[in-house]
Amino acid sequence: MVTIKSKKEIELMREACRVTFLTHKAIEEAIKPGMTTADIDRIAEETMRKYGAKSAEKGYDPGIRGVPPYPASTCISINDEVIHGVPSNKRVIKDGDIVSVDLVALKNGYNGDAARTYMVGNVSKEAKMLVEVTKQAFFEGIKYAKKGNRLGDVSHAIGEYVRSQGYSVVREFQGHGIGKDMHEDPGIPNYGKAGKGIRLEPGMTLAIEPMVIQGKPDIWELEDGWTIVTQDGSLAAHYENTILITENEPEVLTLL
């Protein structure tokens, strides 16, 4: 069931999303070649704690037999890793890498969710274009995130924009509603038909997250049960914000 947030709940969401934004800001200022993904994870955890929040991802149980609860505070995915990369002291960030960081700050019982793909050092023209298209796909989608429109209008806009730029969207994973739970209804694919799906109403809070692949859309899951990579080894990027449906234009809660 899709929840409509009260004014009080929206204020709590804003605060959780503020912490999410500030955590990404700390990562953006720190990330550089030579750091490990575990270093970035520690910065995120410390920043969330500084602002009275904690990671909603750490300890998350997917409910899949044989897959342990998620062990870190962030998901960090490099180059051909699409999503859910597990931070490690052994994974060193190199010059030219694109590094996707997905994090969820939980504060006062509510969640703020955002992902960014950081370009580290001297990134290739092709990688830069992929990151920019992925970010723009989010903004193309939320043009339709308005009262009275259908959820499919958002999904369709994202998918068509990505396709028009010569890239692929991930079809197996999607955005989602968000609030007291990290993942709430509705599911929000990055492709779809305009005019389909639920009607958007003020008070809905949604995590819109284009996941874009440079090559073919096919993906693999690694043996850790978490990390998703492209089958053809092509680059992938991720951009996500938590938004609020209002009476007018959508409010992006994780951008300050």
CA distances 47 to 30, 40, 51, 105, Å, are 12, 11, 7, 10
Helix (H, G, I), strand (E, B) or coil at 152: helix
pLDDT one-digit tens code per residue, 208-226: 999 999 999 999 999 999 9
Rounded to 5 degrees, what are φ and ψ at 4?
Answer: -100, 120
Residue 187 lies inside a defined structural domain of this protein: yes
State the pLDDT confidence band at 60, using cuts at 50, 70 and 90: very high
CA distances 75 to 53, 109, 110, 113, 155, Å, are 17, 21, 19, 12, 23
Residue 212: which CATH number? 3.90.230.10
pLDDT one-digit tens code per residue, 82-136: 999 999 999 999 999 999 999 999 999 999 999 999 999 999 999 999 999 999 9
Contact 237, 131 (CB under 8 A): yes
pLDDT number for residue 65 = 87
Residue 2 lies inside a defined structural domain of this protein: no
Question: How many domains does the chain divide into?
Answer: 1
Residue 65 lies inside a defined structural domain of this protein: yes
**What percentage of the chain reaches a pLDDT higher than 90?**
98
What is d(CA 66, CA 220) in angstroms, rounded to the nearest whole number? 17
Residue 199 lies inside a defined structural domain of this protein: yes
Q: Identify the DSSP state of 81.
A: E
Residue 192 lies inside a defined structural domain of this protein: yes
Contact 210, 10 (CB under 8 A): no
Task: Quote the domain boundaries for residue 148.
Answer: 7-252
Residue 1 lies inside a defined structural domain of this protein: no
Q: What is the mean pLDDT of residues 247-252?
A: 98
pTM: 0.97
What is d(CA 107, CA 13) in angstroms, rounded to the nearest whole number? 8
pLDDT one-digit tens code per residue, 125-184: 999 999 999 999 999 999 999 999 999 999 999 999 999 999 999 999 999 999 999 999
Q: What is the mean pLDDT of residues 53-81?
A: 95
Residue 171 lies inside a defined structural domain of this protein: yes
What is d(CA 60, CA 77) in angstroms, rounded to the nearest whole number? 17
pLDDT one-digit tens code per residue, 7-19: 999 999 999 999 9
Residue 15 lies inside a defined structural domain of this protein: yes
First to last CA, the chain: 29
State the pLDDT confidence band at 66, using cuts at 50, 70 and 90: confident
